[in-house]
Amino acid sequence: MRLYNLKNQNQQVSFVQAVKQGLGLQQGLFFPLNLPKLNDEQLTKWLQYDFITRSSHILSTYIGDEMPFEQVTESVKKAFNFPLVVRPIEENIASLELYHGPTLAFKDFGGRFMAQILAQIASNEPITILTATSGDTGAAVAHAFYGLNNVQVIILYPENKITSLQEKLFCTLGENIHTIAINGDFDDCQTLVKQAFDDEELKRILCLTSANSINISRLLAQICYYFEAVAQLPVEKRQQLVISVPSGNFGNLTAGLFAKAMGLPVKRFIAATNVNDTVPRYLSEGQWLPHQTIATLSNAMDVSQPNNWPRIEALFLYQKWALDELGYGVVDDKMTAKTMQELASKGYISEPHGAVAYRILRDQLQDDEYGLFLSTAHPAKFKQSVDSILAKSLPLPTALAKRAKLPLFSHQLPADFVLLRKFLLKHVTR
């Protein structure tokens, strides 16, 4: 697989290089030179495969001859060892539940696949994974790499801007997992990661790679669950399918659009955001004007400078799709809470991110369409807001209950690259 740097077309890398490097020169994202496209016969056949077989084919088609099919299958088997569920909510709407993995969020798919791939390609070379999280990536990556020899993981997260249960899931591990609460928002954390990748000396000393959705292996892994969702739907519901994606950094939506580009029949995608609405405003007014990030109930989507957007633009250009084919919508906290109550009255407990996606889907779905909204996290991860909005007390799943009792090991830093650099050189010893 060949990929090029969206900021510098002259830089081309292999899949393995892209996974190891994370970002290209000038902080450019890597994007495939060619996108695979399935014909109708292949698509029908693949939709009949089981999840593991189909996912191995999808990923192998991208990776090409850099990794034997059997090796990809091995990674997929180890990474995707938990189910995903399409749960019907109304006659023409279902929730795609992506939170049945070990850290109870959709990030388990990408984080665990990336860990498998890195373990294979890095062999005995020591590496350092540096990543920013708005809440859920941190846990998925930390658990996927916990205890691995030769891998140090540094996770930056915005102090007091993730839920305490999200924090407990990844900041109580210790050993090779170093967590830093940054005095700032997620965009500040993301900027620090980019600055680190621009620092050639630091990159060399620490052998830095990134686990954010800027890392292509995570994005490719996420394509697989869109195929599985369609495969689980009865054939008559696949024809007019609309998928609503709760979006922050836009990695999840990018993966869905890759699936569509491969030939998965999706009539329309909806980019659903909270009031951090840089993309919806861009789509309606044509101007890219990020505002100051605002804290919301759907905190993992509190992003005003979404990293993956250039990939979506590149994909639309490659496919010759028009940007106005992309649906969008914005939901504020008041409406998010109301929507969670509306879903509860239908017998479905949702957390704020899934509720944002449902709201816009419900409002925009036409009579002849079938809608899927992505439920990206387990409601218990947002227990505090779910309990108070729905006036109930959600039980904690075992994984979370165990962690909730442990002390936090996090460090604290201001959003200052010089201090972060010092910290990394001191704490990440080889």
Ligand X SMILES: Cc1ncc(COP(=O)(O)O)c(C=O)c1O
Q: By CB under 6 A, name the binding residues for ligand X.
A: 105, 134-137, 213, 246-252, 300-301, 353, 376-377
Alpha-helical regions (H) of 263-332: 278-285, 309-319
- Is 122 or 272 the residue whose CB approaches ligand X more closely? 272
> Edge-to-edge, what's the strand order for the sheet holding 93-97?
85-90, 93-97, 370-375, 241-246, 268-273, 327-330
Q: Which of 257, 233, 358, 363 is nearest to 309 (CA)?
A: 257
Round to whole Å and give the CA distance between 13 and 194. 19
- Is 56 or 376 the residue whose CB approaches ligand X more closely? 376
- Is 137 or 217 the residue whose CB approaches ligand X more closely? 137
- CB of 378 vs ligand X, minimal distance in Å: 9
- CB of 276 vs ligand X, minimal distance in Å: 11
- CB of 35 vs ligand X, minimal distance in Å: 19
- CB of 275 vs ligand X, minimal distance in Å: 14
Cβ density class 307-330: b for 16+ within 10 Å, e for less: bbbbbbebbbeeeeeeeeebbbbb
Cβ density class 37-66: b for 16+ within 10 Å, e for less: ebeeeebeebbebebbebbbbbbbbbbeeb
- Is 97 or 428 the residue whose CB approaches ligand X more closely? 97
- CB of 178 vs ligand X, minimal distance in Å: 20
List, as one string, the DSSP characters of 113-144: HHHHHHHHHHTT--EEEEEE-SSSHHHHHHHH
Rounded to the nearest 10 degrees, the angle between the axes of helix 309-319 and helix 251-262 is: 20
The residues that bridge with 127 in the sheet, in sequence order, are 151
Contacts of 128 (CB under 8 A, 6+ apart): 151, 152, 153, 154, 206, 207, 208, 209, 424, 428
- CB of 207 vs ligand X, minimal distance in Å: 25
- CB of 107 vs ligand X, minimal distance in Å: 6
Rounded to the nearest 10 degrees, the angle between the axes of helix 137-145 and helix 164-171 is: 20
- CB of 187 vs ligand X, minimal distance in Å: 12
- Is 60 or 339 the residue whose CB approaches ligand X more closely? 339
CB 384: neighbour CB atoms within 10 A? 13
- Is 208 or 377 the residue whose CB approaches ligand X more closely? 377
- Is 4 or 250 the residue whose CB approaches ligand X more closely? 250
- Is 101 or 251 the residue whose CB approaches ligand X more closely? 251
Report the amino acid identity of residue 315. L
